[in-house]
Amino acid sequence: TTVPSSTFNSILSTVFASSIFSNVAAAEDEMIEVPGGTWLMGTSAADGRDGESPVRQVKVESFQMDKYPVTNEDFSFVFEDFVPEVTRSKITERIEPAGPASGIKERMDFPVVHVSWTDALKEEWEWAARGGLEGRTYPWGNKFKGKRANLWQGSFPENDTAEDGFHGVSPVSAFPAQNSYGLYDMLGNTWEWTSTPFRGSQKMFVLRGASFIDTVDGSANHKAGITTRMGNTPDSASDNLSFRCAASTL
Ligand SMILES: [Ca+2]
Ligand SMILES: [Ca+2]
């Protein structure tokens, strides 16, 4: 059972337009203050694609960003308490967090997936993911560490050896914070929407961070790194795509 995406988007629009979500998150101290700065975005690596190249200088103002992707727990709270009755009354079926026939109760600390939405700009996402380090491949540095992010190991699609401990989506705090800003789950687990348009013939937005079906070496799907990106249409939703909130510093 699913809610039609048009209805779902109208709920999200209602919630976000009133900034309730950000206020709730801030009140629970789940947002990180990301300082502003001028820095070098992107990569000059030969395998850069989807707009990762070239390296260019970018300035970002300070902002706040969710420590974790928005979880099912956060989202059901918003859904129950803040979605107006008039909107709720139009919904005939409940949202299933991992698609049809999945239960929400045992997945409260998993990222909300199957959502279509946009939030932080891609520059803000990358700046935050870099955590104050310059020109690194991963949020924590240049050396990949298996117990820092949920990716795919083994041959795709038949054999995920799950050496990182997870086949499929993992709880948002399953791995330690990925950088010195204290942000979790930026790289891997679930892609994250940004509000930056992705160049292309149809209307798309940039996704960042790669997901549990992507690999360190690029042998399957995307090569996961701090500059990895792809485009997706705003009505798209899948089980490896989530979001986190960002807000201007007051
Ligand atoms: Ca994994
Ligand atoms: Ca992520």
Q: How far is the CA of 10 from the centre of ligand 1 (A)?
A: 33
Please state, in angstroms and rounded to a whole number, the distance separating the CA atoms of residues 176 and 27: 22
Q: At residue 156, what is the residue type? A: F
Query: What pLDDT, in 10s, does the model give residues 63-91?
Result: 999 999 988 887 765 555 555 565 555 54
Query: Which of 190, 196, 195 shows the shortest CA–CA distance to 210?
Result: 190
The sign one gets for the Cα dihedral 59, 247, 148, 223 is negative
Q: How far is the CA of 79 from the centre of ligand 1 (A)?
A: 29
Torsion-angle region of 107 (φ positive above 0: left; ψ -120 to 50: alpha; else: beta): alpha
Q: Which ligand is in closest contact with the Cα of 152?
A: 1
Round the average pLDDT of the chain to a whole number and report it: 81
Give the number of other Cβ atoms within 10 Å of residue 208's Cβ: 23
Query: What pLDDT, in 10s, does the model give residues 128-186?
Result: 999 999 999 999 999 999 899 999 999 999 999 999 999 999 999 999 999 999 999 99
Q: Which ligand is in closest contact with the Cα of 156?
A: 1
The pTM score is 0.78
Q: Per-residue pLDDT for 93 more than 80?
A: no
**Strand, helix or coil at 228?**
coil
